[in-house]
Structure formats: structure tokens, C-alpha cells
Chain A
Amino acid sequence: MAFDSFSAFIAMEGHGPYVWVCYAVFAVLLAGLMIWSVKRNQSALEDCQRRHDTESRASAKATGKAAASFTRVEIPQD
């Protein structure tokens, strides 16, 4: 330990404000960046799920109606 007490650690011999402001901004920005990225990823995933849910429901309806007249052929798109 480079400091004698906790208050000495906070004060850092007068340089405390500078050091702690830097670390705070660093922590906030880094955490914010990480949380933002996770949230964006989640919302993209949910969008995908919603789209495919509605699509599969719609196609289920369509096949249900049309099943008598023709069979549906799945052609892979990728």
C-alpha cells in the first residue's frame, strides 16, 4: 500500500480531484459503452425474433389455407 490511510488515498496529496475525475469519466464512459452495446445487441435480437415470429405465423396461415390446392416448396435463399 502506497498510502497510510483511506483518507490519504482519497486525497492523493492534493492530486485527488484530478485522478478521481479521470477514473470516474473513464469508468462511466467504458461502462456506458459496454451497456449501450449490450442493449443494442439485445434489441437487434428481439427485432429479429419478432420479424421471424410474424413471418412464420403468416406463412403458417398461408399454407393452412392453400394446402388443398398446392404444396408449398421451400427454396433456400442463401
Chain B
Amino acid sequence: MNSSAHPLIKPVEQGVGPLSAMVAVFARDVRVAFRQRQDLLNPLLFFVMVVTLFPLGVSPEIGFLKQSGAGILWVAALLSVLLSLDHLFRHDFDDGTLEQLVLQPQPLFLLILAKTLAHWMLTGLPLVVLTPVLGVMVHLDGNSVAILCLTLLIGTPVLSLIGSIGAALTLGLRSAGVLLSLLIIPLYIPVLIFGTGTVAAAAEGAPVAGYLALMGAFLVLALTLAPFASAAALRISMSNS
């Protein structure tokens, strides 16, 4: 590993505030990700492929796709976020950056929050951007696509945040990928239910503001609790290795 591929976090000077440390971690993660572009593309390709499987495997009928399109897209997005979670800490763990992160004077949960937000920006956000194209391919109407994008926009950060707990817990274990899915999928169920439920309600012409507010509540809850849990889990995993 040469240092150009993995720019280290700048040495901490006296009095670096938590916020600037967060910005530094965020910027570093984004920079590292753009140097390994394939890792960015893989979850997106996976997303598109999983969506393609449903018309092929179940039915290309317009009625079926219209009815279950939102669910298909949500499940595919959920799976591709799950697939990308393994990268959240693994590279940093392997090259020792994570250990330095844990030793920083700034609160660890803030640094992890920054890392998770970077992860969302690099995987969740592209999924949302890609959704309209796939939404048209599964014959969703314009209104449904818009609501779907909105739910994914609120929902994918929740997926990343909850997932960061699982990624931290399974760090450094053999068969971490499968284990991560086992731990995290049950916790994703509420987000999935409300994500698809909102689109279904919109398709029936019901008001969706309440549902979106509930998803927002999930997001706030995940934002406030998940970083603490991941920080605790990360410390446990680091002391383990």
C-alpha cells in the first residue's frame, strides 16, 4: 500500500475541532473511493442486475411490474447497500488507518458518522440517481417514481447507518459478508416496509406526508443512535484483533 493510494489523515494539530476532523475524514474517504472507482460502480451494477432479474424471473407483464416495481427497486437497493457495507471499514482496517481513527482525540462516533455519510454519498446517493431510469423500465408512473426517489433518499442513509453497526461488529471475522447480512437484514425490515408502503399509498392517491415524516423519524433515530453503537462495536472489534 503506497501512501498515494491511501492518503492518510492529516496529523492532528493541537485543537482540531470535532467538526473539522469530521470534514477531514469525510473528504479522505471520498478521495480514496474515487481512486478505486470500480468499488463505486460495483453496487450500482448489482442494483441494475437484480432489478433486471425480476422481469426475467417472474413476469415482464406491465401490470405485475407496475404493482411490484417499487418493491423490487427497494429490495435491490437494500441488497446493494448491504453488499457495499463490507468496504465501509475493511480497507481502513487492513492498512491500519482505522486504528489511528480510534486513537484520535475527537469522539469516535462523530468520525464514524462522517465515514458513514461518505459511504452513503458514494453508494446510496448514486442508487437514488439511478432509480428514475429503472423506475421507467418497470413501468412506474411519474408520480410513483418521484415518491420512490424521495423514500430512497430518506431511506438509504438509514440503511447505511444501521449497516455500519453490522460492519463494525463483523470486522476482521472470517465469512464476515454472510454474517453481516444475517445480522442486518432483520433490522432493515421497518425501512423496507415504510419505503414501499409510501409508494403504494401514493399509487392509491392517499396522502404520503405522514409516511415520509415517519421515515424521517427513522432517519433521525438512526442518526442519533447508530454512530454510538458502531463506535462501541468498532472498539470491541479492534480490541479483538
Q: Do chains A and B touch in the complex (CB under 8 A)?
A: no
Residues of A within 8 A of B (CB): none
Residues of B within 8 A of A (CB): none
